Amino acid sequence: MDYSEKAKDIYVQLQQGKLLEAFDKYYAENVLMTEPRGTRTGKAECRAYEEQFLNSIQEFHALEINKVGSNETEATSFIESTMDVTFKDGNRVTMEQVAVQQWQGDQIVHERFYYNNA
């Protein structure tokens, strides 16, 4: 499986409600995750953040995988996605983002998210 296929598999699992299973499989112990709201270091801290995100969602409506690509020589992939969710506070939000992933073997060691934080 090449890096673009691995990246897509993560998001297919998200579509199936298996975010934490995908996280456990594909993220390294020393992963660094960066986004406009901050940076998290290490698998435990990053997983706790993902759990908190999941716990804030009341209803998951859709996740679209828009674009996927990779540079196999550089062990880098990207995925553009759109997610439609209703949070427990009642706000329904459509989130668009791009995730750029740096791989070592079969695991992500750095992931950076690009989105509008307005």
Calpha distance 32→100 (Å, rounded): 12
Mean pLDDT, range 71-86, rounded to an integer = 97
What is the DSSP code string of 29-83?
EEEEEEETTEEEESHHHHHHHHHHHHHTEEEEEEEEEEEEEEETTTTEEEEEEEE
**What mean pLDDT value characterizes the chain?**
96
The domain that holds 9 is classified in CATH as 3.10.450.50
Is 117's pLDDT higher than 80?
no
Q: Total domain count for the chain?
A: 1
pLDDT at 5: 97
Q: Supply the range of the domain harboring residue 9.
A: 3-114
Dump pLDDT digits (tens) for 18-43: 999 999 999 999 999 999 999 999 99
Taking alpha carbons only, the member of 64, 56, 66 closest to residue 92 is: 56
The answer to pTM > 0.95 is: no
pLDDT at 68: 98
Mean pLDDT, range 103-110, rounded to an integer = 97
79: confidence class by pLDDT, cuts 50, 70, 90: very high
